[in-house]
Amino acid sequence: MSAETNDNQSSGTRHPALLLIGWDGATPELLERYLAAGKLPAVQKLIDRGSYRPLRSTIPPVTATAWPSFLSGKNAGKHGLFDFVTPGKDGEYQFDYTNGGHRRDRNDDICALLNRAGLAVGCVNVPMTYPPKAIDGFMISGLDAPDERSGIAHPAELFERVQQKVGSYRIDNRHLGNMKTDDDRRGAIAEFKRVESLRTDITLAMIDEQPVDALIIIYNATDQVQHHFWHLQDPTHPQCPGVESAEYQAFEDAIEQIYIHCDLELARLMEAFPEADVMIMSDHGAGPTCGPQVRLNNALAQAGLLTWANTQGGLKSKLASTADSFLRRTLSAKQKAALVRLIPGGRSAIESMSLPAVDWSKTTAFVYEGFTLSPCVWLNRKSLFAQGTVEDGSAYDDACEQVISALTGLKDPKTGEQVIPKAYRSRDIYKGDLVAMAPDLILDWWEGNTFTMGKSHPKHDSESPVYWPEGPAVPGRDITGIHRRNGVLIAGGPHISLAQGEKEQADLIDVVPTALAMLGLTPPDDVDGKVLSDIISGRIEAGQTQDIAPSDEGDDQENREYTDEEKQAIEARLSGLGYL
């Protein structure tokens, strides 16, 4: 071991020499504003010791795709997670939730690679790591875990023992789905802070008992607060209640408070491990939902690309839709959770009844509209769906062009401007063995004025599919901040260069190759990201590092499906966060 060996290790105690810290959704616009005001001293200290630059996210910039791309340094065509949902088995049109068990790269992500180089790793709250893997170190799963009772950590015994000391772990804030009063909103902000502080407490306590050479930890609150409070700090937001309103004045600093709190958590980690090199990254940025809503399946129906099986939707559909809307509007978050436990599968049954049936034999393309933040188009391919109508080859290309023409031609009724600026073909943006499982078209909703999805129904076919919601945003129901592609990358420490002048363009998939290179390790050949060489000023010595050994576990795709109970739990959590 060289003379540069971490002091903590040379004294006989293994403390992490490298910290990879995620601030989910942290965006350059707000970060730079708070830095300029002197509100983020720990972040500023890192920048003074290293560098800061924008970090470009994946296409689309959604959590379920972005964080696995970070973990592996690979595009989604290789790790296989394109969204929070994926088509069901045997060509069914019922979509299933994805989790870390669907990832193809779990034996080749950064945790596995560092383990094979002889280094122990702590991995805390990274989305799409459920179920937790047995690694050398410890793992606490993130957003895709159904709830805290679902076996979210390895080693489980250590996790339980640590909770007895510092408190019960929470994956995230559950109060966002029912913020109807100012007291609710104040409670949500306080809960954001409590959850993130406890995350740090648990992590430090885990390291005390299970030392590691590298730590990966993600903080959620920066993303979640932006989704629900953006309109209360942005006077230009179309749903801002006005800067003179009591609501605006009470909560215009809500997002700032959470960034400041995450800075305090960063300071705790830096104080605990003062010799460590630190990289902070976000999986994407954020901005306002400042455009209209679009009923995408209605747009496809009007273009002759989707056919309803029942143009009236049916009495059962209408009654279920009314019941669904009533329950969402009136029940508290706790009442919704209790109802899920009382009637397992009830929510899915009501939602499936409330959706109008599609005549698949006469349908070319469709959108799964259940997930608010991810409008992707699926062609009704014969090679994928049981009642597919689209052949591969020239017929597929023609169908893509028809859909692109129909959807990019939609206009904002207020301004006459194009609503969807671009539709990406998945085969053009992804590379790898799993591209055939991707949605066929990724609609650009993150550039320009953005748009969000509305719920389609045949009763709307005579109306414009593009519309503006009436009235102000409803807290706990409406998302007022949405993702953008530009996140942030901050790096500082004894082996990180002081960046001067022009900085190398960075992508999210570059972080892991760069981290490996900092540790003196060669990234695998199938990694898509590049090493950001202008960041590195020296090699980090951590543990008894060796070359990365080949994996002897083969292709790792667990296909870990949720049980019915777990599916209800993950639905309740994602709905409470505003994603469903």
CA distance linking residue 233 with residue 134, whole number of Å: 43
The whole-number pLDDT of residue 102 equals 87
Per-residue pLDDT tens over the stretch 140-191: 999 999 999 889 999 999 999 999 999 999 999 876 767 888 898 999 999 9
Per-residue pLDDT tens over the stretch 338-366: 665 566 555 554 444 445 799 999 999 99
In the predicted structure, residue 573 carries a pLDDT above the cut 80: no
Location of each CATH 3.40.720.10 domain in the chain? 17-286+483-555
Do residues 531 and 514 touch, judged by C-beta distance below 8 A?
A: yes
CA distance linking residue 271 with residue 265, whole number of Å: 10
In the predicted structure, residue 194 carries a pLDDT above the cut 50: yes
The whole-number pLDDT of residue 562 equals 82
Per-residue pLDDT tens over the stretch 495-546: 999 876 678 889 999 999 999 999 999 999 999 999 999 999 999 887 766 7
Q: What is the mean pLDDT of the chain?
A: 88
Q: How far is CA 263 from the centre of its chain?
A: 21
3-state SS of 88-156? CHHHCCCEEECCHHHCCECCCCHHHHHHHCCCCEEEEEECCCCCCCCCCEEEEECCCCCCCCCCCEECH
The whole-number pLDDT of residue 373 equals 76
CATH number (3.40.720.10, 3.40.50.620, 3.40.50.10440, 3.30.1360.200) of 17-286+483-555 reads: 3.40.720.10
* Strands lying side by side in the sheet with 365-367: 365-367, 376-379, 441-443, 423-425
The whole-number pLDDT of residue 8 equals 42
The whole-number pLDDT of residue 549 equals 81
In the predicted structure, residue 320 carries a pLDDT above the cut 70: no
Do residues 516 and 116 touch, judged by C-beta distance below 8 A?
A: no
- The partner residues of 139 in beta bridges, in order of sequence, read 123, 154
The whole-number pLDDT of residue 479 equals 86
Give which of 136, 226, 198 is closest to 480, Cα–Cα: 226
Give which of 27, 80, 82, 86 is closest to 60, Cα–Cα: 82
Share of the chain above pLDDT 90, in %: 69
In the predicted structure, residue 491 carries a pLDDT above the cut 70: yes
Per-residue pLDDT tens over the stretch 197-225: 999 999 999 999 999 999 999 999 999 99
The whole-number pLDDT of residue 160 equals 97
Both structure tokens of 309 = 């099986």
25/339: higher pLDDT: 25
Read off the pLDDT band of 571 (50, 70, 90).
Answer: confident
Q: Give the mean pLDDT of 403-430.
A: 96
